Amino acid sequence: MSPINSEALAREHPEYSRALRRLISWINSQKDLRFINPKWLAKQVSGVDKTDLAAALTLLERAGYLRLVYKVLTPSGVLAEGEFDDPTKIPERLPDRLEHYFDTSEADVVPIFKMVA
C-alpha cells in the first residue's frame, strides 16, 4: 500500500488532526499491514484519545484508504479465515486454523479495517 498523506485529511478535520497524524504515521511504519483491529490498535497507538482514534479510522475509511469488514473469533481466540462485508452473511459454521469447524452463532464477530491497495 502506498503511504497515506495525512495533511489533506487533517486540514479537512482539524478536530481529529492529532489522531489522524498518529494513526497514519503508525500505518505507514508497518510492513505488510493487511488488517487493523481497532481493539489491538488502541494498545499500539498511545498519546491519543481512543474516541478520536476511532473517528480517525472512520475518516480513513470514508476517504477510501480502509474498508470495514467483519471477521469471526474462533473458540481459541484467533481470527478465523474469511472476511464478510455484512455480519448477517457469516455462515453457521467456519473452520478454525486447524480446519476444525465451529459454530459461529456463539462466536464473537469483530469489526476489522482492511487496507485498500
Q: What is the pLDDT at residue 1?
A: 47
CA distance 51 to 41: 12
Question: Grid coordinates standing for 115?
Answer: 487496507
Residue 89 · residue 7 · CB < 8 Å: no
Q: What is the pLDDT at residue 56?
A: 95
Q: What is the pLDDT at residue 10?
A: 85
CA distance 43 to 47: 10
Q: Each residue's pLDDT tens digit in the chain (117 positions)?
A: 456 766 888 899 999 999 999 998 899 888 888 999 998 999 999 889 999 999 999 999 999 999 999 999 999 999 998 999 999 999 999 998 889 999 999 899 999 999 986
Q: What is the pLDDT at residue 3?
A: 63
100-109 contacts: CB < 8 A, separation 24 or more?
Answer: 102/74, 102/75, 104/72, 107/72, 107/73, 107/74, 107/75, 107/80, 108/72, 108/73, 109/70, 109/71, 109/72, 109/73
pTM of the model: 0.82
Q: What is the pLDDT at residue 28?
A: 87
Question: Grid coordinates standing for 117?
Answer: 491497495
Residue 21 · residue 52 · CB < 8 Å: no
Domains of the chain, by residue range, sit at 6-64, 68-115
Q: What is the pLDDT at residue 37?
A: 93
